[in-house]
Amino acid sequence: MRCYKKIISPFFLCVLLLFVAPAAQATDLSIRNPQLLANDEGYSLAADFNINFNSRLEEAVNKGIVLYFAADFELTRSRWYWFDEQVVRRGKTFQLSYHALTRQYRLSTGALHQSYAALDDALRAMSHLRNWQVLEKSDIRVDQTYLAALRMRLDLTQMPKTFQVSALSNKDWNLSSDWLRWSFTPSELVPVAAATHPVPSAAAASSPVLTTPPVPGMMTVPVAGEGK
């Protein structure tokens, strides 16, 4: 009868310990100041996140495990006769990793990559979401009220299959914010000057004129021929 000895790599043992060792501090993720900002294409999203790692997640990154964070945005419209209509659903992924050779943390979003000397610096950069284009003009109707919603979470489904079962059953890896919801009406983002001073012609609409209010005490000189 032969005996076979299974060899487990030190890296795999370290990873297993990440799921059984107690965490030293609580994990927390919350959202602050979400805003939909008008631009030429439609509306972009800006928001801030409070991201607090526990020691287990920090150790996982330092051991070479890549963490994926997902920002989820939804826009719905209420309907009295049926369920709410889902107008738009968008997702954005952040990839956080550590490179032992350069001793730097790398934060990736799509084709954009940035390196940081400290984990806190990488988390601080990820906590400020800016210029995320979430709405096109054709997606929404002016003067229609919508409900916007945003959350951020640690996406465990993108982790290696070996670790997903252990991570999903461990509350220390359950890092997710609650859905933050707010009412949104597109007409509220129209500049006040454009709403109170309509442009008389289509030609003038392409070249808006900026006016400066008179300064108290300033003498105004009438233009020749004006007032006749």
* 5 assigned to some structural domain: no
Give the range of the structural domain holding residue 136, as residue numbers without chain letter.
Answer: 28-185
Give the residue ranges of the chain where pLDDT is below 70: 1-27, 164-166, 168, 188-228
* 128 assigned to some structural domain: yes
- Amino acid at site 148: A
pLDDT number for residue 163:
73
List pLDDT tens digits, range 177-187: 999 999 999 97
Task: Give the C-alpha separation, 41 to 135, whole Å.
Answer: 8
pLDDT number for residue 17:
40
* 190 assigned to some structural domain: no
pLDDT number for residue 26:
46
What is the number of domains present in the chain?
1
Q: Are strands 85-99 and 67-77 parallel, antiparallel or unpaired?
A: antiparallel
| Cβ proximity of 131 and 46 under 8 Å | yes
pLDDT number for residue 83:
81
List pLDDT tens digits, range 41-74: 999 999 999 999 888 899 989 999 999 999 999 9
* 218 assigned to some structural domain: no
b/e code 44-54 from CB counts within 10 Å (16+ = b): bbebebebebb
End-to-end CA distance of the chain: 116
pLDDT number for residue 188:
52
* 207 assigned to some structural domain: no
* 206 assigned to some structural domain: no
| Cβ proximity of 132 and 45 under 8 Å | yes
pLDDT number for residue 27:
56
- List the structure tokens of 19: 């799921």
Using the Cα atoms of residue 81, residue 135, residue 154 and residue 34 in order, give the sign of their dihedral.
negative
What's the pTM? 0.69
- List the structure tokens of 181: 């919801």
* 8 assigned to some structural domain: no
* 119 assigned to some structural domain: yes
